[in-house]
A and B are shown apart, each in its own frame.
Chain A
Amino acid sequence: MKFTADLSFTSAPRRARHGWSPQWLFRADEAGAWFDPTDLTTLFQDAAGTTPVTAAGQPVGRMLDKSGRGNHATQATSAGRPTYQTSGGLHWLAFDGVDDFMVTPAINFTATNKLSAFAAVDMRSASALGTVLHSGGAAAGAKRFGLFAPRGAGAGTGTYGIRVFDAAVAVIDASTSAFSVPDKAVLSGKWDNAAAAGLQIALRRNAVDLAQAGSTMTGNFISDPVYIGNRGTDLPFNGNIYGLILRGAATTNADLAIAERFLAKRTGVTL
């Protein structure tokens, strides 16, 4: 019998059962971003990052990306800044459904034909279509993508939606069933241009598969800023964001499950 032990040390993110961090999802230098309003050291009242957020109700003009990619989200216009809120051990950014949003620098997804997004949200209103994240702003563009809450607005209920524009700039959507608002949810979106027909985009809510659709989109994604809370000029999100992860890769079922549990804790959702 032979015993071996690996005593090597590394500074790379570890996939520990306890203390798991979304940095694990970026261990192979995947493009993307991870935003975590629970971590006050990442929030600033101004876009330059000179005045830290210290208390509930303060505006957030800069939110640092914890993925290590440096894709920090900012809002230079003071009226457009979401506010930091905290209660019951939870922490979030509140978007007013009018003009609040943040935007990252261009994130380069040109090396991948797969994307994964995780968003921990509280959809507070379903009266009008709202954007959780969207690449490239309001103008249509081939290979742009988005997550919506709600996608379908109604009287007190809203669906969640996932989108991609194919190479012909035709919009392809998939929507979930409707949920009464307010609705806390961990959304997991998948875009895979190489997937089997009918499965190229898919959306889960609270670890349950709810929507999928086919897409004629081929090839890799593009390099675009990513808007959080609206599309730059329209479709504002009325609700709270507890955490957001966007990565330029497919996510294994094991990583998907642990990422959803991680964000569920930050949202106060029981999976």
Chain B
Amino acid sequence: MTRLTIACPAAYVGDANQLALALGLGPDDDKTFGAANWHDAAGNLYAVASFVASPEWVIGATSPLAMPAWGADLAAAGRAQALIRMSMPDVNTSPPLANPACLTAVVELPGGAALTLMGLRQVAEREL
């Protein structure tokens, strides 16, 4: 089991949730990526997710997708899968900054540390 933290550009949230649905544990996994309320230095918005992934999930993320029992849009899931960029900070020399063209995934680090490494900050609190 390993922790994965993924930053998904706002434009790809729909596809990324279909990928989460295809690889996930139930029909509610289509809500894995919620509101895009994190931003990078350039102001690009991202939805984020951090979770402990099983070896099967990690293998599935890089393998041909299969239809889960609860259904999924595999075409959308495939588009998201093609955008995944996995990074292991102890192996890579450059920081895995979030990229508005990719689903940036950081392995092993605690979620908050991974997001910091990706250069992401929460959008300022909306009080009302």
Contacts and interface: CB of A to CB of B under 8 A. Distances in A.
Contact of A96 (B26, B31, B111, B123): B111
A138 B122 CA distance: 14
B29 A77 contact: yes
Contacts of B25: 46, 78
Contact of A79 (B51, B115, B122): B51
B52 A57 contact: yes
Contacts of B110: 96-97
A80 interface: yes
B111 A233 contact: no
Interface string B81-101: 000000000000000000000
A233 B52 contact: no
B125 A129 contact: yes
A72 interface: no
Interface residues on B, range: 20 to 34
B36 to A, nearest CB: 10
Interface residues of A, number: 28
Contacts of A77: 28-29, 31-32
Contacts of A96: 50-51, 110-112
A33 B8 CA distance: 35
Contacts of A100: 50
B35 A79 contact: no
B72 to A, nearest CB: 14
A80 B112 CA distance: 14
B1 interface: yes
A235 interface: yes
Interface string B24-67: 11101101101101000000000011111000000000000000
A125 B35 contact: no
A80 B37 contact: no
Contact of B112 (A78, A79, A97): A97
A19 to B, nearest CB: 36
A238 interface: yes
A140 interface: yes
B69 interface: no
Contacts of A76: 26, 28, 31
Contacts of A47: 26, 28
A128 interface: yes
A98 B32 CA distance: 11
Interface in B7-34: 20, 24-26, 28-29, 31-32, 34
6 contacts: A47-B28, A96-B50, A97-B111, A99-B48, A138-B126, A140-B127
Given A97-B110, A97-B112, 13 more contacts: A46-B25, A46-B26, A78-B24, A78-B25, A79-B20, A81-B51, A96-B50, A98-B5, A99-B32, A99-B51, A125-B112, A138-B126, A169-B128
Which 4 residue pairs across A and B have the least CB separation, nearest first? Answer: A76-B28, A98-B111, A98-B50, A79-B51
